[in-house]
Amino acid sequence: LSLKERMEHNPYVQPTAEAYAARMRNHQALDIDLKSSDVHSLEQMRKTQAAMLFELLWDLGAYIFIGVCTGLAAFCIFQGVRYLDLLRHGPTMAWLGEDRLVAAFAWWLGLSLAYGLISACLVVFVAPEAAGSGVPEVKAYLNGTDVPRFLLLVTGLVKGVGVCFS
């Protein structure tokens, strides 16, 4: 077959931009939604109203629980960063006011290095999977890939404490 004939038989090659746009409108990620499948529709029709209400309330409770836990984690991280910042900058500013520049710089530099060292040691020795942003791991997990030690409590704690110190 010639190149032109192969291109005509290739379903991914469209002759015009309009044909390509029309093809793309027919294929969306939302078309694969579980709730639009026939199996899911039949399962929903078999449920009683009480079962559907229970499922709705269970989902709502899960959403509220996840939101509260996320807000609590963010509050703890914020307070931790605030306390560590006060610990580093409080004496530094006081010593700068007393013209003790070397002491102020040594304190600021020493605590900055200590914070970085604590954060790095936690990740290296306690939970290496806490390194990085975690976005690739979340994407992999949501796509069905088993990410070892990703959802352990120690991983979350190391990530939170490491963020505070970094």
Query: Quick one: pLDDT at residue 17?
Result: 64
pTM tops 0.75: no
Computed over every residue of the chain, the mean pLDDT equals: 84
| Averaged pLDDT for residues 144-155 | 86
Banded pLDDT at 147 (limits 50, 70, 90): confident
Banded pLDDT at 66 (limits 50, 70, 90): very high
Query: Quick one: pLDDT at residue 30?
Result: 44
User: 99: alpha, beta or left, given left = phi > 0 and alpha = psi -120 to 50?
Assistant: left
Banded pLDDT at 31 (limits 50, 70, 90): very low
The answer to whether residue 122 scores a pLDDT higher than 90 is yes
**Structure tokens belonging to residue 63:** 């959403």
Handedness of CA 35, 40, 45, 49 (dihedral sign): negative
> What burial class does residue 111 get, using C-beta atoms within 10 Å of its C-beta: 0-12 exposed, 13-18 middle, 19+ buried?
middle
